[in-house]
Amino acid sequence: MFEFLAKSIMQDGHENNFSITERWLAQHALEPRPVVEFIQKQNIDNDWDVLINGDPYSLFGETDDRLSWMPLEKAELSELIEYLEYEVNQKGCKHDYGLARQWLKKRGKDSSLVLAASMAKGGGCDCEIFYNIELDSIYPVKSKSALQDVLLKKKNKKKDYKTHSFNSLRITVGIEQTK
């Protein structure tokens, strides 16, 4: 259901309700009401909110190989982040996912799922992906104390997302300096 929701929202946008969630439930002959009630109990108000705050890891906890939702494997994501950092520093960020989409398409990845997961982590455009997405908050680390550090860091970081305009400024300043 979550993947269906991610794809629909990334492709067609969303309204301020649970219509996409309900559409999926109807397609699978499930009663929407108890599911929507469960979601609302988690303080989630609409389809968009499900995408950002209601992924299965947020609702049901982490698994052995993920602390939070991300369709890419660790090596793939770190490659994408390196690619974006390099490209954005060369070309700047257009405040869209142009570069990320290109990369994902070349690898045959489902870009709407990956980008929806990125968005939920504060990666709202190409530059924000490498700026805001932390591998350590997605993929578990072996030692337990290290894991606690990561979770603590994640908690403290939560509201501290850098925004695109900030990054543009940073990039502009970087260019100035090289002149």
Residues that bind Zn ion (CB under 5 A): 93, 95, 125, 127, 164
Between 38 and 166, name the residue whose CB sits nearer to Zn ion.
166
Nearest-approach distance from CB 95 to Zn ion, in angstroms? 5
Between 66 and 101, name the residue whose CB sits nearer to Zn ion.
101
Between 20 and 120, name the residue whose CB sits nearer to Zn ion.
120
Nearest-approach distance from CB 32 to Zn ion, in angstroms? 36
Residues 6+ apart with CB under 8 A from 21: 1, 5, 32, 35, 36, 39, 47, 50
Nearest-approach distance from CB 122 to Zn ion, in angstroms? 11
Q: What does the alpha-carbon distance between residue 83 and residue 66 come to, in Å, rounded to a whole number?
A: 23
Q: For residues 4, 7, 58 and 122, what is the CA-based torsion angle, rounded to 10 degrees?
A: -170
